[in-house]
Structure 1
Amino acid sequence: MRARTIVVALAVLAVVAGVGGGALLMLASRQGTPMANEPLDNPPATDDQLVAAAGRRIFFAHQSVGKNVLSGVPEVYAAAQLPAPEIVDLGAGAALPEGGSEPVLAHAYIGENGDPYGKLADFDSRLRAGLADQVEVALLKFCYLDITGETDVDALFETYRRTLADLERDFPEVRFVHVTTPVKTEPTDLKWRVKEVIGRPNDNAAREQYNALMRAEYGDGRLLDLAVIEATAPDGTVAIVSSDGRQHLALAPQNAADSGHLNAAGSVTAADRFLALVGAEAPAA
């Protein structure tokens, strides 16, 4: 017990001195982001993409950060002086309104936060229950609560990749797009940094590990890099955290309503990039 007390005390002193393994928040330009796996650059939507998105039947499965994204959609269209799509909450249903004959941005609060495997099963079930025969574009976004420092990231990604590959095989008329997992703001207070030094897992680091796999697999025009959209402040700088010799993204305070959700300005930016992706033409095979 005495030896552990001494080790912890030394760790505290190291952090106070600024030389420990704790997190260090820094800013970088978007072009000079020092990441091992370079985040994607989702461009703003063009008017043509906004018109195309409003004319499609889209299914977006999500939880609260997805609600933030959808809340920014009307403002994006208002700024472009274009008619916005109808946004419809499907609840627990697996069918579009009007029998799937009209364009719609349909969404559902999928599964339960903290259970990404359950969300995948719910997404797969709804599409196979008839929704895939009605929609043109479909996407599932995990919540930051679905991936933590305790998550087996490789196993979760493989289940996601396999589930989506099976859906793409069985429903070739649907364009499946993908979303990186959102991140949270990164506290850098002394208490939190001491916990990291003594072995507390870093949740955003696990999310970055998962998102790197998503970028490698789907970064060919099929991926909304929500994590980097959240991390990029209005002035173009990116919130990056250095932890244990590696870098990962964090939600920029300028975009944050709280530790995990987007404010109004951040919601509009995320909605704009979301609409650009779902309104774009499918990349060549």
Structure 2
Amino acid sequence: MDDDNKISRKAVLRAALAAGVAVPAALVAGPALARDATQTGKPPELTPSCEEGDEPTPPQMEGPYFKPNSPQRTSLVGPGTPGTRLTVSGYVFGLACLPVARALLDFWQADVNGAYDNVGYNFRGHQFTDANGAFRLSTIVPGLYPGRTRHIHVKVQAPGRPILTTQLYFPNEPRNNTDPIFDARLLMNVRDAPPGKEAAFDFVLNVPQNPSPTTTPPPGGTTWAAGASYAAGVRVTYDGRGYVCLQSHTAQPGWEPPSAPSLWRAD
């Protein structure tokens, strides 16, 4: 991927942030996120980058508490659920740093007392990424139990691809230094967001992708096309309707003007 492509993908993700499908921009000051590696092209110290050819998110053991057939839901808490509220959000990418739509994420974790529900499905649930590869989970900060640091379990699967089983960790936890399977590459980016906390993590799956080459619209052409580079203020037509570009980016399938209001305004 060339530098222009990397910057443009970063711009598209920031536009998605503005549309409310990802975490607050303030989170980028903590551990590196996969989406931010597209800006410098340098592998971050923690969360794997998504330059084509880089290593995907590392797997970890499933543990003894996984249960299949969890309910589909994006919130694992109710009005009276005890514990510090936590929102985890981010993206699922393939190896070319393109988002993976309809990827499955199945989460399970301990309650505030460090106990897992092995009878029902408390603090268990699965969801799917949206068209931009984004996910969002409402839960609590899990409690501790003997021998482990604080963590959240997750299985992630792109459609028709193998399952990644891994765990997500919290920074600045004392037990991170003594947990035998703790992996700093799986640290979430966490910040206080009263009355709770917000966390971000981007998964990079071992899914080959072939991004469309960057092109420019033909001379005099104004029809929107995937792979074309658009600058702010450029006008295009799509399905017979005119649109104005709001932010410079390289067009990708799934971000057509009618479905990307953060990038295009009807003219």
Same fold (TM over 0.5): no
Higher helix share: 1
Higher strand share: 2
Asked which structure has the greater RCO (Cα within 8 Å, sep 6+), the reply is 1
Please give the TM-score of this superposition, normalised by the length of structure 1.
0.28
